[in-house]
Each structure stands twice: as C-alpha cells, then as structure tokens.
Amino acid sequence: MKYFILFIFLYSQVSFSEEKSCSCLEQQNTKHSEKKYRGNISLGMETIGEGSRSDSGILLKAYLSGGGLLKYSSSFALVSASNYLQGEFSLGGQFYPLNNFSESFIQPFFYLEAVLGVGAYNKITRTDAGHNIGVGLDVTLYKRYGIALIVESHQAAENSLRIIFGIFKN
C-alpha cells in the first residue's frame, strides 16, 4: 500500500513537471513565432546642402524593418521641391542600443543606408546613388504604436539634411 501511494505521488510530480515544461516550450515557441517587423510612415523637410539645387523640399518616407538590437531595413522616399522630384530606394541597417530594455518607452537609434534614386531636376531625368546616415528617437505611446523623430544626412548627387517626423507600428 505505501508503495502504491509513493508511486501516485511521484507520478503526479512527474506529470506536473511535464505539463509545466510543455507550457514553457509552447510560450517560447509562440514568442519566437511572433513577427518582429515594423512599419513606419514619415513626413519631413529636406534642406539643401551642396549641389546644384537651391530650393528646400518635402519628404515622404516609408520604412520596413525587422530584427532586434541590429535591424535590417529598407525604405522608399519621395522628395518633391519646385524643380525637383525624386524617388529613392534604400537598404541598410539600424542599431538600437537600448533594445534589450523592454521597459524603456524611449529608444534611440542610429542607421546607415545605401540609396539609389531616380528623378528629375529642371525636367531632366537623372539617377544618383549615395548613402544616408541618421540618428533618431522612437517614443512608444500606446502598446505597439509610437512616434519617431529622425535627423538624416543624405549624401548623393544632391547632399541634404533631412528632419523627419513619423508614426510607427511594431
């Protein structure tokens, strides 16, 4: 009889630990299966730098990024000024130094992108290539939504400084 009680006690402990480890594995699997992509729509101003252009422009930029501490990203930007219209496609990476602190609602970041642009200046079609270097700050406002403030240096045929304000969804 006492062996029977000991057997039932040990069996219940083993089954309890199996259930616990199973649920932990399920939680880990669902945690890893969550998509870590982020979309961002931004609007900004482009001030002129070196180059032949003499007018400031308006910038519309859309990002898609994924990853953790180091993120890969791609974006499309549309720049419009009085005599200038250009679409730019870029690929690059972002570095979020505070990404491991999930309690932090403010996330500074740095990024570097390679850019390929196609557009027209004074009704002459042209292409250019270069890079963007930027620094920004993400502020999470509600669960997975927030705002992004970015200062970007655009280095290509037309150099410029861009100030960008956007909204994002994780």
Q: Are residues 107 and 150 in the same domain?
A: yes
Count of beta carbons in the 10 Å neighbourhood of residue 6: 10
Phi and psi at residue 2, to the nearest 5°: -70, -30
Say yes or no: 87 and 121 in one domain: yes
The answer on 61 and 142 residing in a single domain is yes
For 34-85, how does the pLDDT look when each residue is reduced to its tens digit (9 = 90+)?
557 889 999 999 987 766 667 888 999 999 998 888 889 999 999 998 888 9
How many alpha carbons fall within 13 Å on the CB side of residue 136? Answer: 26
Tell me the whole-structure pTM to 2 decimals.
Answer: 0.73
Q: Give burial (CB, 10 Å; 0-12/13-18/19+) of 57.
A: buried
Q: Are strands 37-48 and 70-80 parallel, antiparallel or unpaired?
A: unpaired
- Domain shared by 24 and 49, yes or no: no
46 C-beta neighbours (distance < 10 Å), count: 25
43 and 2 fall within a common domain:
no
Cα–Cα distance for residue pair 92/73, rounded to 1 Å: 5
Q: How confident is the model at residue 14, as a pLDDT? A: 44
With 90 as the cut, is the pLDDT of residue 167 above it? yes
CATH of the domain at 117: 2.40.160.20
State residue 66 phi and psi, 5-degree precision: -155, 160
Which domain does 52 fall in, by range?
A: 37-169
Same domain, 98 and 150: yes
Q: Provide the pLDDT for residue 159.
A: 86
159 in the same domain as 77: yes
Are residues 74 and 5 both part of a single domain? no
pLDDT tens sequence across 111-161: 999 999 999 888 889 898 999 999 999 998 988 899 999 999 999 887 889
Q: Output the pLDDT for position 76.
A: 95
Strand partners, 106: 139
Domains in the chain, number = 2
The token pair at 95 is 């570095």
Identify whether residues 3 and 77 lie together within a single domain: no
Asked if residue 59 and residue 125 are part of one domain, the reply reads: yes
Same-domain pairing of 26 and 99: no
Same domain, residue pair 137 and 84: yes
